[in-house]
Structure 1
């Protein structure tokens, strides 16, 4: 990924983030998985955040994102998890009664991407997605 620019700034701020549904419930499959993917994409576009790679697994989400330096990672994650919860509850109101107001767990994992290559992170995320697909297919066979 090339450096991006704001009016007086050149930047490359890339992060690998992982977050989970509350209680690490394995609910991210089927229509909900598709909706989570779409909602996260929409919300990132609103904030001019580029999704370099991503995977929605049964019980967690991996994103490799390039976030402009004017947005802190904690502000972005609060926005992403908060707004996506509201949008998910609009599309799936039956979920709200299970976990009250929160869909996502409170915390998240984040690391800056600088000491490893973009390709290494994308490969890891791809492997996570493939593992999740294997689990989906095993579950469907039962």
Structure 2
């Protein structure tokens, strides 16, 4: 089993993961495999610029899933805004996806934290802290 790559800051050590899902506005099926591949490239470029890692990207014609490891200085909503904003600009321009609308993505999103031990194991670990 490999050791996790913790982020070490001046006052913290973190390892934060989030699973995100973005849905295309009006569930239009515009995310072909080619568009999803380009979307993945754009997401990774945003991650490089902002110092977070896009670990996995995949989806279907009307939505896309991302797994991201990010630093604590960013809120999830900030990550979402940058990812959706930049990808929308690039994809709408490069693929002419929404000539009659100004938005590619629905304004909503799904986010769930993930990674590490299951919640029950963490709960048990904390419960047993005074049993030394």
Q: TM-score, normalised by structure 2?
A: 0.77
Q: Is the CA contact 1:37–1:56 (under 8 Å) kept in the aligned structure 2?
A: no
Q: Is the CA contact 2:30–2:97 (under 8 Å) kept in the aligned structure 1?
A: no
- 1:15-74 CA-to-partner distances (Å, cap 9, x unmatched) read 111111111111111432221121111111111111222213222111111111000000
Gaps of 5+ in 2: 119-132
Q: TM-score, normalised by structure 1?
A: 0.72
The higher radius of gyration belongs to 2
Superposed structure 1 runs of 4+ greater than 4 Å apart: 114-117
Q: Is the CA contact 1:13–1:67 (under 8 Å) kept in the aligned structure 2?
A: yes
- Tell me the C-alpha RMSD between the 2 structures: 1.8
Between Structure 1 and Structure 2, the one with more helix by share is: 1
Deviation at 1:88, TM superposition (A): 1.3
Q: Provide the secondary structure at the position in 1 that maps to 2:62.
A: coil
Matched, 1:107 2:114: no
Aligned residue pairs, count: 115
Q: Say if 1:115 and 1:31 are closer, same or farther in 2 by CA, change over 3 A.
A: closer
Aligned to 2:36: 33
Between Structure 1 and Structure 2, the one with more strand by share is: 2
Aligned to 1:127: none
